[in-house]
Amino acid sequence: MTLSCYGFDFANTIHIWSNTIDYCRIGIHAENISDIKIGLDPNGIVKFNTINYFLGLTPTSGIYYEGIWLQSCNRAAIINTTILNNAIATGTNMFKGVDVENSTNCQINCNNITNIPYSMNFLGYCAGTLLRRNVMTEYDVAINTMGATLPFQGAEISPGVWKSLDNEWYDLGTSNRIGTLSQQINWYYKSPGVQFQPFPNQGNITPQSTGSGNPQCGDLLSPPRDERFGAIVGDSLDFDEYVEENTYTAKADAYQAIKNDSTLLVQGDLNDVAFQEFFSEMSQTNIGGFAEVEELIADSVFVSQAGLLNTSIVDTNSIEFYRKTVNDIYINGPAAGISLTAADSLTLQMIANLQWTLAGNAIYSAANMIGLEIHPAYIPLRKKNIKEDEQENIKTKVAGISVYPNPASEKLIVKGLTNQNTSIIIHNSANENVLELEITKYEHVIDVSNYTDGIYYLFVKNKKINYFQTKFSIIK
């Protein structure tokens, strides 16, 4: 069962319930379907889905098997689904019970997943996603994480008072219950009972023994506003890698969440002003502009206005560049009832296969238009942990470096290089290394005449740390 659309992040609820799916490769696949509810009927009543695999001990290698697979499905719910293989399968990372990619504020409740190597898998920006009363039995890693951002796993019943969400693990004691998370989080569990304990795990988990929060299967409550968005709104959230792209993604997610739920602006505390100022500021940026384009695209009456607004946006990073490109193809193609050209299809295929940190959720929109199944690569997404003196040193070095002209066509000049143990690295938009060299001069000229048109990333680093990065374009 596959459901896919171009991608509109506002309420468009689809319910899937009371299904039994046997002998499948992918049970339920949703792409760009916000608010999808799997295991809830339209009246909000919890109802079972069952997905049965018969792959034995060793599933065929090189093939992806996914029980429930969400790609860019914000505010999705997966509830009361049983996903079962007929034997304890191990040794493959391509067989997953629940797989969630770049989907925020999801609720994963009361599922039973048995004999599958990865009971659950999370990739990318999954902020706000909570797991309640899931039972995972026999696995390699019960909750695997691939560069994933997840919140504290618990219920804050009053300020500073947290309770367990009562997930359960059953294994032989040698499998990891949780993989390596991208940042340190608290995981609240009830005791006694070894089945409730979130260890062994692969790191960045701080287990916190507490009482049960008595979570309900139909509970769709999100983490508190300030916990989820406070660091973003306060501009204190930072990342160790892909700083520009990940910060942009976090801000865009916060803006869209507030746009969808205006109660986040007024909750009767001192932080209301900060949230209101953030929302007002973002509405005047490209983040607000693209959100408006998405709204206009969703209504066929306003497609032409969407095209004019999309064209007027001047992209400032690679995520915006690819979003604008994909929007343009959609607005002037499928949205207008016109078939894709061969050139459009090739462009969409290229974008769909990019890393999500470079192209954002445009990869899923591109894949939708050409009917392509994509499995984005793992990208680290870690918060910075740099000492203050190192940060100051980095700022000093960055302030002295300039890269020009931008865009370039023949030559690119890097000026202000002061460390003799310094290297320059250039990646293309597919994150392929196209240049790496050591330099010993204050100024270096790079021949880019053979580079194809597009966006490139330049990094300057010494032996210890990447201390400068920027983006430039090649236009000929």
Q: Exposed, middle or buried, 392 (CB in 10 Å: 0-12/13-18/19+)?
A: exposed
Mean pLDDT of the chain: 88
What confidence tens digit (pLDDT) does each residue in 115-162 have? 999 999 999 889 899 999 999 999 999 999 887 888 899 998 888 899
- pLDDT of 323 strictly over 90: yes
Average pLDDT over residues 459-473: 70
Q: Where does the pLDDT of residue 242 fall: very low under 50, low under 70, confident under 90, or very high at 90 and above? A: low
Beta strands in 230-326 (DSSP E): none
Q: How high is the pLDDT of residue 390?
A: 38
Write out the two tokens for 197: 């304990």
What confidence tens digit (pLDDT) does each residue in 253-277 have? 999 999 999 999 999 988 999 999 9
Q: Are 445 and 471 in contact (CB under 8 A)?
A: no
Q: How high is the pLDDT of residue 148?
A: 82
Backbone angles phi, psi at 180, to 5 degrees: -85, 120
What confidence tens digit (pLDDT) does each residue in 393-408 have? 333 334 467 888 888 8
Give the number of residues written for the chain. 476
DSSP states of 372-435 as a string? ----PPP---------HHHHHHHHHHHHT-EEE-SSBSSEEEEE----TTEEEEEE-TT--EEE
Write out the two tokens for 207: 């287990």
Lowest mean pLDDT of 9-23, 281-295, 308-322, 332-346, name the range. Answer: 9-23
Q: Where does the pLDDT of residue 387 fall: very low under 50, low under 70, confident under 90, or very high at 90 and above? A: very low
Q: State how far the Cα of 355 lies from the Cα of 454, in Å rounded to an integer.
A: 15
- pLDDT of 104 strictly over 90: yes
Strand partners of residue 141: 118, 176
- pLDDT of 233 strictly over 90: yes
- pLDDT of 112 strictly over 80: yes
| Residue 328 CB coordination number (10 Å) | 15
- The secondary structure of residue 341, as a DSSP letter, is P
Name the percent of the chain lying above pLDDT 70: 91
What confidence tens digit (pLDDT) does each residue in 409-447 have? 899 998 887 666 788 889 887 778 899 888 888 888 999
Q: How high is the pLDDT of residue 175?
A: 87
108-208-171 Cα angle (round to 5): 60
What confidence tens digit (pLDDT) does each residue in 53-72 have? 999 999 998 999 999 999 99
DSSP states of 222-252 as a string? PPPHHHHHHHHHTT----SSSHHHHHHHHHH
Q: How high is the pLDDT of residue 333?
A: 95
Domain ranges of the chain: 2-223, 226-370, 392-474
Name the percent of the chain lying above pLDDT 90: 61
Q: How high is the pLDDT of residue 241?
A: 61
Q: How high is the pLDDT of residue 11?
A: 57
Looking at domain 392-474, its CATH class is: mainly beta
Torsion angle defined by CA atoms of residues 210, 156, 385 and 394, in that order, rounded to the nearest 10 degrees: -170
- pLDDT of 8 strictly over 90: no
203: phi > 0 → left, psi -120 to 50 → alpha, else beta; which? left
Q: Are 70 and 106 in contact (CB under 8 A)?
A: yes
